[in-house]
A and B are shown apart, each in its own frame.
Chain A
Amino acid sequence: MKNLLRHITLLLLLALVGIGSLHAEEKEPLDVKSFIFGHTSDGYCFHITEIKGKPICVWLPIIVHSKETGWHVFSSKHVCELAEGETYQGFYIAPMTDPKHPGKLMEVTPSGEIKRPFDLSFTKNAFGIFLVCGFMLAFFLPAAKKYKKNPEGTPTKYQGLVEWLTYMVLDGIISPSIPKSKVPKFAPYLLTVFFFIFFCNLFGLIPFFPFGANVTGNLSITLVLALCTYVAVNIFGNRHYWKDILWPDVPMFLKFPIPLMPIIELVSTLTKPFALMIRLFANILAGHIIIMVLMALIFIIGGMYGAGMGGATSVISIFMMVFMTALECLVAYIQAYVFTMLSSIFIGMAQEGEESEKIKDKR
């Protein structure tokens, strides 16, 4: 009986969320697309809430370089609060409905031309990156210090946690894919990548300041990560690896006079990191979008059929969102795992030839 009462109260509370749609009804209907992309893409400020139409934000610095007027550094407060048609120092933020640069900082040049300046603003995602960086340093460095101070002492619980996390990646992902002698060389990069992605994913799921930046669901970030793997694979790849690309063991007509196989191999070196980039980006973005859509659904239904239906939808929607968020926690780990595992496999493949060559020589 008590349990039943509790369940009913919970349902009613969930339905209360739908009452918000009553409020939304009075205003213009929700623009779902800009709502979702406004939350999942990068931004110039941390939007917390709105009180009486005034946004409550954490403002971040805007750093831009314009070809005409040089460097500009100012708080995003100035441009975020502009009315339509106004500019601050010749800059304004394009609306989310803008077809070319939605939500980006635009410049109106003295000649009246509108263009995108070089934008080095410390955006929401940049903030998210440095938050994760700071967290990683704060999490791993004290452990390293403790180990350095007392390498053979009994590890504390905190050290045990760090050790467990590190060795989960090291023994589970890195060691099986990379030749043993090369592990110390590449493990630092792969460990850093794993925990960077993992913490970014997790922080991205926490919906309030200072978390909630959709870092790994942004192509720029996954591009840099994929680039790092590309460098690690190809710059540190050994002679054997390059020989396999430029002069593979295939019939002569496939590599001379038209270097068909070398071209395919070269392209494949690019497609590997490209796939890494897209996979991580798409998975995380999709997760965020699904959660946002489920949230928006309450207001869409509420707008269409009234607050009652909105309330009813909110019950289902919120259950689905809880489920999706739990799923996203899993995805956060899986995607970090997959990225690291594929990176180590690619790196391992670029390192392996040497040892098999040695074996051949011995024979």
Chain B
Amino acid sequence: MELFLPESGLMIWMLIGFLIVLFILAKVGWPMIMGAVTKRNQHISDSLLAAEEANNALAGIEAAKEKALADSKAEQLRIMNESQELKKQLIEEARQEARNEAEKIVADARLKIQKEQAEAMSQIKAEVITLSVDIAEKILQRELSDKEAQTEYIEQLLKDRPQIEA
């Protein structure tokens, strides 16, 4: 049957056509496509690796950042505490100083008061003396009637006089 007999003419055309396509595609078709895809696959896997590395590095940086942040927070806390402490200390110191000052003022005042008291006492003393002298004068004037005793007493008084003046 004709259907099952190969035709030499058609076989020649087929051979020509197929071999031309095979030759062209084998030279400039498939190797380019396969090469490029292989290359790109390589590129992609390389890039993925690089990305992973970068990610890891980034994670390290992140951790470092985290640590730095925590450190700075701790530092801040420390400084704050310190300043608090300092403030307390300063206040304490100021208070102490004020107390000292106050004590000093009080002491001064006490001293002054004592001085003034003494002065007042001496003044009072003088006053008392004059007063007593005056009183005595008056008494004496009244007692002069008794001559003899009087003279004796006066003499004694005269003797004592410089003592009183002093």
Contacts and interface: CB of A to CB of B under 8 A. Distances in A.
Q: Are A and B bound to each other? A: yes
Interface of A: 37, 41-42, 63, 100-104, 118-123, 125-126, 129-130, 132-133, 136-137, 140-141, 143-145, 147-148, 151-152, 155, 162-163, 166-167, 170, 184, 187-189, 191-192, 196, 218-221, 223-225, 228, 285
Give 8 nearest A-B pairs by CB, closest first.
A147-B36, A188-B26, A144-B32, A126-B13, A220-B10, A220-B6, A119-B9, A129-B17
A151 B42 CA distance: 12
Contacts, number: 137
Given A104-B2, A189-B26, A225-B18, A147 B35 contact: yes
A212 B77 CA distance: 87
A137 B21 contact: yes
A133 B32 contact: no
A141 B29 contact: yes
B14 A166 contact: no
B12 A192 contact: no
Contacts of B28: 141, 144, 148
A148 B24 CA distance: 15
Contacts of A225: 18
Sorting the interface of chain B by its residue count into under 10, 10 to 19, 20 to 34 or 35 or more gives: 35 or more
A123 B10 contact: yes
B17 A133 contact: yes
B7 A119 contact: yes
A89 B7 CA distance: 22
Interface of B: 2-15, 17-18, 20-22, 24-26, 28-37, 39-40, 43
A192 to B, nearest CB: 5
A118 B9 CA distance: 7
Secondary structure dominating the interface of B: helix
Given A141-B29, A188-B30, A192-B26, A224 B11 contact: yes
A192 B3 contact: no
Nearest to B6: A220
A42 B4 CA distance: 12
A143 B6 contact: no
A126 to B, nearest CB: 4
Contacts of B36: 147-148, 151-152
**Residue among A101, A133, A228 having the largest count of chain B Cβ atoms under 10 Å:** A133
Contacts of A102: 2
